[in-house]
Amino acid sequence: MNCSPALRNNLHAIAYTIAALVLGATVAAAQSSTVRARDAWVREAPAGRAVTAAFLILENSGAERAVVRGSTDAAETLELHEMRRDGATMSMAPVKSISIPANGRVELKPGGLHLMLFGVKKPLLDGDSVSLRLQLDDGTTLTVPARVRRPQGMP
């Protein structure tokens, strides 16, 4: 390109600025995810029950993301699972990840995707609070407060 040194300097400045903006945005993305959780609840696990499930809504205001794993202090293991209906039969299986569509949401609810808590450390009773940590595919971790509930009505 045949241009004046002044213009070349300006182009360099613009390129540096763009690079800095991109880098800045990347760092910001790593620090605060575009995914928010709400309405999180855990099914009651009275004494004698070492397994329970957690449900919540994940909303995403950015590009497609996925939950890749999770943990909680309330149980030894937290896994991502899905119920599947096939005619009159129901099955449950672990899933590798739960994707949250770009600018969309995914609902974890009874009969579908959910979080399984194995090895519940102490009884979880109606009204108790549990903290869930969900790790996303962008490296961020979402800490979600969840309420323990005893579902009595229709889910």
Please report, as ranges, the residues that interact with other proteins according to CB under 8 A. 43-44, 46-49, 51-53, 76-77, 79, 81, 83, 85, 88-94, 110-111, 114, 116, 118-119, 150-155
Query: Which lies closer to other proteins via its Cβ, residue 100 or residue 113?
Result: 113
CB of 148 to other proteins, least distance (A): 11
**Locus of tokens 């450390």:** 121
CB of 33 to other proteins, least distance (A): 26
SS3 letters across the chain: CCCCHHHHHHHHHHHHHHHHHHHHHHHHHHHCCCEEEEEEEEECECCCCCEEEEEEEEEECCCCEEEEEEEECCEEEEEEEEEEEECCEEEEEECCCEEECCCCEEEECCCCEEEEEEEECCCECCCCEEEEEEEECCCCEEEEEEEEECCCCCC
Query: Which lies closer to other proteins via its Cβ, residue 22 or residue 95?
Result: 95
Query: Which lies closer to other proteins via its Cβ, residue 59 or residue 82?
Result: 82
Query: Which lies closer to other proteins via its Cβ, residue 5 or residue 153?
Result: 153
CB of 112 to other proteins, least distance (A): 9
CB of 141 to other proteins, least distance (A): 21
**Locus of tokens 């770009």:** 102
